[in-house]
Amino acid sequence: MNSLCNAIRLGALGAAMAGFVLAASPVRADHIEKHFTVQRRPIITVRNASGRVQVKAWSKNEVQVTWTNASGKTAVETEQAGNRIEIATHAAEEGAAAEDLKTDFEITVPVESELRVRTDSGIVTVESVHGDMTFDTVGANLQLSDVDGYMVIKTIDGSLVCTRCAGKLEANSISGNMQMIQPTLDSVRVQTSSGNILFDGSFLSRGIYIMKNFSGTIEVHFSSNDSFDLNATSLKGNVINQASITPYVHGRQHAPSKWGQSLFGTMNDGHAKVELSSFSGTIKILKRD
């Protein structure tokens, strides 16, 4: 009888301990992969509250989407309508904390694809995709490399690093920094209020490069073979120049500004157009080593 009672007690204790372990175990992270067959130049739309969005290119006519949500409290919806793929996240339950909504994506797309990405925080990386792209972020940082297309970027305080980017770039930010490294862009329109701007590349013939900020530094690097018309003005800041500028070869002449510092002129034949303007920041036109 005592042996039977002890066995019952041990069984009950074991069940209780198993229940305790089960209750104390963390929620299993969701890790899901989906595939979508597409035609040439699909449109991929991503809406994510928080996390990493990584987009790479391959030669297949297929979009592969993999995501991980550590908390298991985020629902991911995917939809295909013809050649359009839409991916969106939302809270799976009411009252979920912000950190529970973090979802990381790895997306592989055909080389020729169009991207539309919206995210609040985290980081977005895009590699080797050729096509038009739009990015709308609050604080997410953006890293583009070896991309080609018409890129439109809007962010509040996210930063941009664009490495070996080709095509056209429009970027607006309030406090984010903007960097263009080894670009082959023929149109650049970049504006930030308090962030810094760096352009380290060649000015293409007939290219237009407009960079503005309120404060911070605007820095452009040039080579001795670059050919551009220059218009640089900082109302309450400084203009530092290492370019051999001569009076304009074409176009109307500019009188020196009565306020702040300004520099107008032509380098070589003036094939490109470069406009740099700031309210209180420093503008640097520096020769590339």
Residue ranges of domains in the chain: 159-289
Average pLDDT by consecutive 10-residue portion of the chain (289 residues)?
46 42 41 94 96 97 93 86 95 69 94 97 97 97 98 97 98 97 98 97 95 97 94 95 83 57 92 96 93
* 220 touches 183 (CB < 8 A): no
Tell me how crowded residue 225 is: count the other CB atoms within 10 A of its CB: 9
Tell me how crowded residue 82 is: count the other CB atoms within 10 A of its CB: 9
Would you state the pLDDT for residue 255?
54
Would you state the pLDDT for residue 259?
60
> Taking CA 161 as the corner, what is the angle to CA 232 and CA 195, rounded to the nearest 5 degrees?
50
From the list 255, 228, 259, the residue with the least C-alpha distance to 244 is 228
Q: What residues contact residue 46 under an 8 Å CB cut-off, 6+ apart?
A: 53, 87, 88, 105, 107, 115, 116, 117, 118, 119
Would you state the pLDDT for residue 23?
32
Q: How far apart are CA 144 and CA 141, in angstroms?
A: 10
Would you state the pLDDT for residue 12?
45
Would you state the pLDDT for residue 110?
98
Give the pair of three-digit tokens for residue 149. 């297309």
- Secondary element (H or E) of residue 6: helix 2-24
Would you state the pLDDT for residue 4?
43
